Amino acid sequence: MIIQQEAIVLRCIDYGDSSQIFTLFTQDYGKIGVMAKGLKRNKNPYQGGMQVLNHIKILYYQKKEGLLSLFKECDIQNHFPSLRKDLLRVFTALYFVEFIREFTIENDPNARVFRLLRHSLDQLASGALPQNILLYLQWHSMCLLGINPNIEYCNHCQKRMALLCKDAFFSPKEGVAYCEECKKYSKGELVIIQGVTLQKIHIIVNSHNARINQIFLMPQEYHTLFHSFRLYLRFAFDKELRLNRYLLFS
């Protein structure tokens, strides 16, 4: 069956002398693998389209379950040229595609994950603060995949720490937070997220478009949030993203 899809290119691996295998996140079919035979041969017109980070429209032959689809042709929708001029933005965008690639499973349709990734790349290319848009993508991906940690409520007494501007004691092992009084009920190492930082992340993840750039995280605040989610994901998936170490923004 031949399929047309919008997709974001997540990964490209060489195969043999002239072919390549791509991992794509498609609008209607989720993460898929596509074999492009002969793509590396000279003058193949689709080489420029099939680059990691590109938003494309692709035609491919869908094979039986368990087999790679076969590339037919593609059109570039957006290759985010302004994003590619800035190394920090490139690393942030590569982190987005690594995050989606590693924490989603193949052939599991999720159009909202596709839109989130496309929206985050658009925002990053149009000048959004990289730290904020990274936390936005992380948080909403975790929500859409049903694995978001709880940092707003105390897991024991249900107090809303962000609303009260109280420090939260986050347990990456449990994926939940505790208030000062209840932290004795927690398990494992705790990361302290200050009340003011909780309020900022609350606004960032609930903001759309322009407002997300009006929140300024101090480097230490960003580190605490990034570190908390990193430890949490490590416990939840036993997995460390390669790009984690490049994204401390210091």
Q: How far is the CB of 154 from Zn ion (least distance, A)?
A: 3
User: Which residue, 188 or 219, is less far from Zn ion as judged by CB?
Assistant: 188
User: Which residue, 144 or 182, is less far from Zn ion as judged by CB?
Assistant: 182
Per DSSP, the three-state class of 215 is coil
User: Amino acid identity, residue 73?
Assistant: E
Q: CA-CA distance, 201 to 47, in Å (whole number)?
A: 39
User: Which residue, 57 or 156, is less far from Zn ion as judged by CB?
Assistant: 156
End-to-end CA distance of the chain: 49
User: Which residue, 2 or 157, is less far from Zn ion as judged by CB?
Assistant: 157
Q: How far is the CB of 176 from Zn ion (least distance, A)?
A: 11
Residue with tokens 């390549």: 20
Contact assessment for residue 34 and residue 21, using Cβ atoms and an 8 Å cutoff: yes
Q: How far is the CB of 192 from Zn ion (least distance, A)?
A: 14
Contact assessment for residue 166 and residue 195, using Cβ atoms and an 8 Å cutoff: yes
Q: How far is the CB of 178 from Zn ion (least distance, A)?
A: 6
Positions that interact with Zn ion (CB under 5 A): 154, 156-157, 159, 179, 182
- 119 C-beta neighbours (distance < 10 Å), count: 16
